[in-house]
Amino acid sequence: MLELLEAIGEDPGRPELASTPRRVAESYAEFFSGVGIDPVSVLGETFPFEGVSGGNAEPVLVRGIRFRSMCEHHLLPFVGFAHIAYVPSDRLAGLGRLPAIVDVLASRPQLQERLGEQIAQTLADGLDARGVLVVLEASHGCVTTRGPRQTDSTTVTVASRGSLSDPAARAELMALIGRPEAAAPDAPHTAHTPHGVSL
């Protein structure tokens, strides 16, 4: 941190900056707290699911999961919402575990594209889910505050596995995710669960 302050022409010995290296270190410890943590372990206890009549499980969808991460290219934040759906096979995750997985994987030097893929793979591996869909929408500091300074721009990425890789199969979920309240800043999380299942 001292070298960075010197590189921008600041005096690291200035009294107002005396605590800056410590504060930055504490902030970075929080921003990167997911490094080295196995995201599958964050699923914790899972619950048996026997499916519904005919064996056609309906998707579980949690919209509007807030997240923040740090772009590994510039170490600037990107913030937004994750929308996660999965089609269970024989196990269900507690709904609160999905935001926990997002937080662990986002708390690393990241790329949005890779973050979505990692979330999808964690659910595919940890639940043996029949299908997974992860849609991320985020605003990137490296676009909004530097370079082009496109303050209104957002980036949307999609990652999918299994049955939800089929565009026709995920069309209803994409429509639900795209409803205006899904992206509203103060919208509550919405969960759609398989018929007859209570989490």
What pLDDT band is residue 183 in, cutting at 50, 70 and 90? very low
Strands (E), the chain: 46-48, 60-71, 77-87, 91-93, 109-110, 131-140, 155-162, 190-192
**To the nearest 10°, the Cα dihedral for 12, 71, 190, 193?**
-130
What pLDDT band is residue 147 in, cutting at 50, 70 and 90? confident
Once rounded to an integer, what is the mean pLDDT over residues 132-147?
A: 95
Find, among 84, 95, 88, the residue nearest to 177 by Cα.
84
pLDDT at 148: 87
pLDDT tens sequence across 82-101: 999 999 999 999 999 999 99
Helix (H, G, I), strand (E, B) or coil at 114: helix
Query: What are the residue ranges spanned by the domains of the chain?
Result: 1-31, 40-192
pLDDT at 180: 41
How far is residue 97's CA from residue 78's CA, in Å, rounded to a whole number? 22
Is pLDDT above 70 for 52?
no
Is pLDDT above 90 for 27?
yes
**To the nearest 10°, the Cα dihedral for 14, 25, 141, 158?**
180
How far is residue 151's CA from residue 142's CA, in Å, rounded to a whole number? 10
What is the chain's mean pLDDT, rounded? 88
How far is residue 106's CA from residue 184's CA, in Å, rounded to a whole number? 21
User: What's the CATH fold of domain 40-192?
Assistant: GTP Cyclohydrolase I, domain 2 (3.30.1130)
Task: Kindly list the distances between the CA atom of residue 183 and the CA atoms of 41, 72, 110, 134, 139, in Å, as whole numbers in the listed order.
Answer: 29, 25, 22, 14, 12
Once rounded to an integer, what is the mean pLDDT over residues 21-41?
A: 96
Number of H helices, E strands in the chain: 7, 8
Is pLDDT above 60 for 199?
no
Find, among 62, 77, 66, the residue nearest to 193 by Cα.
62
Look up tokens 């992206």; give the residue.
183
Once rounded to an integer, what is the mean pLDDT over residues 135-139?
A: 97
